Structure formats: structure tokens, C-alpha cells
Amino acid sequence: MNALSKDVIPSGTKRSSLAALNDWVAEVAALTQPDAIHWCDGGDAEYAALIAQMQADGTLIKLNEQTHPNSWLHRSHPDDVARVEHLTFVCTTDKEDAGPNNHWMSPADGHKQMDELFAGCMRGRTMYVIPYCMGPIDSPLARCGVEITDSAYVVANMRIMTRMGAAALARIEREGSFVKGLHSIGELDPNRRYIMHFPEELAIKSYGSGYGGNALLGKKCHALRIASHQARNEGWLAEHMLILGLENPQGETHYIAAAFPSACGKTNLAMLIPPEGYRRDGWKVWTIGDDICWMRPGADGRLYAINPEAGFFGVAPGTSEKSNPNALASIQHDTIFTNVGVTADNQPWWEGLDHGTPVKDWQGRDYAPGNGPAAHPNSRFTVSAKQCPSYSPKAEDAQGVPISAIVFGGRRASLVPLVFEARDWTHGVLVGAAMGSETTAAATGAVGVMRRDPMAMKPFCGYNFADYFSHWLSFDKPGAKLPKIFHVNWFRKGDDGKFLWPGFGDNLRVLEWMIKRVKGEVDAIDTPVGALPKAEHINLDGIDLSDEARTKLFGFDRNGWRAEFASLEEFLGEFGDRAPHALKVEQQRIAAQLD
């Protein structure tokens, strides 16, 4: 490790302008007592040294160089494979500011508990200091942070997922502010594992986990929980959304931001390949981002968005030539795989792949179907966004891209149709607040349980949801040219339990209808819950839908929606007087129409 270790701010940096950072690093070193300190520069030599070190100590396993050059497998501890929402806290001075949507602890108690865990925890280890930027390095929408960690695996992943190193440090020097993230893998003991957020201090402390969402602090911790708090104070939005560009045959591109809970198809939609007929006609989909979206009103009143991330931390199982050929193409080289299986010739393997046979499972055991899946259901790949064939050159635009439509959606086996449009912004905010989805393997706990997940932000909003809804409503002001809001449900099932909509590339047919609505080219069927498409306005050429599918995908179940809105009233009631009056009025208006 000596080749990597250095314990001072890099030469050429003005020490006076980074005194706060240097003081904090010294303070953390005194607490954690590492053997060495390494300031990360993000360079190729540094990365190569890290990879070599991790290969030597078994943290990374080299994959088949012929089929997957410069790619690696990491196996995490079997008890450390997903986000731990029940151990994730928001520490605000006033408990009400965290809201019923978060686990709360006072800042004093949070710091005390974490600092007791951190005391001496890096003895025998190297402490890495990672300056990073979330968003294009020169974007006014971007924000910087510094993560301190004792995990080389985290450093390697942060290099892929953020703009890390010297350029970020230079921006921190210019701006003088940054989010502080302190992480240690600790002993990987589930009983000594906590992720604490201090939004009022722009600080994060994470202990006892090496898993992505718990350890890559630029991701969910900074880019959503802390950033959502920053965004509220500064007049923008930090959202759990993909961003894609839909280019029509005339060369006109509309940008869409879409919120889905984890493992509900965000990456698939972000990298969508149009159906053959659409491709022949000249339609294209451009990928800006697959998971997080920061939006800010521009001078023209429109919302402009950036993807704060530089890479994809995608779910591997189900990624295939059929479901997401662009994702599959992206991860053929220079990729870190986590908790997937491997074949006899050392290629990565997961359930849903079109070829290959696993011989080892995600824990390194000989694969046997009786032991469960070869790849963990939440196994991941980390790869640079620039490796995606559909990666948009606009992804690096400093000002972001203008958003024409915002889409909400979740896994709903019943009731919710394929697509509907909100009547106006207030109704759209209610649609987002009402979002429900069946839980997936991306979080610990039972899978397939229906829960409310407003804007897909339940695990990620860094403050009271009632205040978050009010913040969304605040964007509707004179001069604003806000996107239309839609809701989709790719997961509606028939009586036989099978999906009624083909999904994947065919979801473009629904996006096309949305853009027609944005441009005012087609009318729609008004219902109390929103505007439904007329069957003739969605291009179904080449799709064979049964009568049941047509009825359920494009229909309106008044009785079912009546029960849904009664449930929604209870949900809004959980936030008491803090819930925005406008949303309660909107819920009651629609409920009255349903009656």
C-alpha cells in the first residue's frame, strides 16, 4: 500500500482555502487511527494500484479477460447485500423535520453513537479521502462532497460513479463547501451497522456495511437524502428518477424524467431500444441517467435536469439481450460485478442471462439449485455511463436538459391502468404522493408487499414528506412552464397471474403518446383519476393484446379507485396538519367525483 499512501493535501492545493477539509481529515484520523492516509486523485495509476491490491487480498476476483476485459467480481458478506432502511436515520434538531417517513435520532445522540463505533476502527487499515463531484464538474447544478472510507472497493466504485479526484478538489477549493461523508466497513456485523444523515450539517456517517447504497456515500446518501434537503433550501429538486431523451423521426428530442422504486425497471427504460418498426422510422432513445435526477427551474420557466452520477450501479438479475441489450453491451468490459455467479470459464452469470451455466454462486459455493439462485437477487454491476451505446452527449451539458414530462410508476398487479395523465401540477403532485408499489429485493425485508412510496422517495427523502410535498407544489408559480405529469404501470397482471403488457422496448409506445399529449396533438378520455388514452392513439401495431388486456390496461375501475382514494386519505392523514392543504383538497375533490 505504500505506493498509494500519502497523508497531506496534494501539492499545488491552497492549504488556506481547504483548511476546513484538512482539519476534518485530521479529526477523523485521530478518531479512527488508520495506519496510513491516502488522498485520492482519481487517476489511472491510482486505480490500477487499488485494483492490484484488491486482487492480491481477495477483495476482487479477476473475470475472463477475453470475454470481459478489465472486469472484476466482488463478493460481499452474506449479511451485507442490500440497503438497510431500518438502520438508516435522519438526525435533525426537531424530530418533526425528519417526519414519519424517516427513522429519527437527535444529532447529539447520532454523533455519539457513531463516534463510539468509529473509535479506532481503522487500525491496520488505510484511510482514503475521496473528493468527488455529483454532476458535470462545471455545472452550476452540481454539488461536491468528500467521502472518507477504509474500503478500497468503495474507492474503486466511487471513481466510476462520480467525478472523483483533483478536479472535484479544485471545485471544493473554489466553493468552500462540501458534503462530509465518513464510512467504515467496521466488522460487517449487522448488529453494529448504522447509516446516519445530518442534513442540517450536510454530513453522513455510515458504519458496518460495504454494500453500495450504504457505503458509496455519493449515491443515495448524498445525491438523495442530503441533496433533497439542500434542494428544498435552494429551490430545486433531488429525485429518484431516470432521465431519457426521446428523439422522433423529425430529429426533435423531448426529455423525460421518470420515478420508479428500485428494481422496477428504471435502468431498462433509461436504456430502452425502440421496437423494430420505430427504429426503421428513425426513433431513438438517449440515456442521460438511470437512477437520480436533479432539476432546477431555468430562466425560461422550464425545469432543467442533470444526472448527478457518472456511472450505473445496476441490478444484474433480469438484465438480458431481451430486457436490456444496451445495459448488457455496457458491461462487457471495465466493470465491477458484485454478488453474481460465475461460469466454468469465469464469466459473470445471473438469472435471466440468455447463455452460460453457473458453476459457482454469489457466495463462492459450488452452484446447486437447492441453495438458491446463482446470483443474489440484488446483485449489481458498476460501470461508467459513457460505455452505454445509448449514452447521450447531452449528459455532460452543464445547464442540464429541459424536461417535457415527468412520469411516476410502480409495480401494481391490479387496478392501475397502463398510463394516465394528471390534470394539472397539483393533481400530478398528488399522483406522485399516492404512488404505491410492491417491494423488491433492493431493500431488506419481505418482497411483494404493497406499500406507499411517494415519488419513489420513501427510503431517500431526507426530511418530512409533508414538507417535501409542499416543496413540489411550490414550483407552480407565475411564469413556470412545468412538465406534464403522467403515471404508468408496466406490471398489471391478468387473471392468470401473467403480465398483460409486453413491456421493455414496447414501453416506447406509451412514451410516444405522452409526447403527443405534451404537444397537444391528441385528446384523451377524462376520468376522475386522470386522462386515459384513446385506444387508437397508442400505436399497437405488432402487439397482440387480449380483450382482458385491453380492458384492464386502458380501463377505469371506479369501485377499485374509490377504495384507493380512501386509503390515500389515511396516508395523507399520517402527516397531520403539516400535510399541504392543497393535496388534501385535491384528494377530496377526486374522492367526491368517484362517489
The catalytic site residues sit at 264
465-473 vs 581-594: helix axis angle to the nearest 10?
80
- State the Cα–Cα distance between residues 64 and 224, nearest whole angstrom: 35
- For 41-188, list the strands marked E by DSSP: 61-62, 72-74, 88-90, 103-104, 126-134, 143-149, 163-164, 179-184
Q: Could you tell me which of 469, 472, 461 has the C-alpha nearest to residue 197?
A: 461
**H-type alpha helices, 353-407:** none
Residue 85 to residue 211: CA distance in whole angstroms: 13
- Count how many Cα atoms sit within 13 Å of the Cα of residue 482 in the half-sphere of its side chain: 21
Q: Which residues contact 504 (CB under 8 A, 6 or more apart)?
A: 268, 272, 322, 323, 324
State how far the Cα of 461 lies from the Cα of 577, in Å rounded to an integer: 19
State whether residue 122 is helix, strand or coil: coil
Nine cell digits for residue 291:
437512477
The helix or strand, by DSSP H or E, that contains position 532, with its residue range, turns out to be strand 530-532
Whole-angstrom distance, CA of residue 393 vs CA of residue 400: 11
CA 457 to chain centre: 9
List helix spans (H) across 119-261.
152-161, 166-175, 212-215, 227-234
Q: What is the largest CA-CA distance in the chain?
A: 72
Determine how many CB atoms are found less than 10 A away from the CB of residue 499: 13
Pairing, β 293-297 against β 237-239 = antiparallel
Query: Closest by alpha carbon to 205, among 254, 272, 149?
Result: 149
Residue 76: which of 330, 331, 375, 357 has the closest Cα? 375
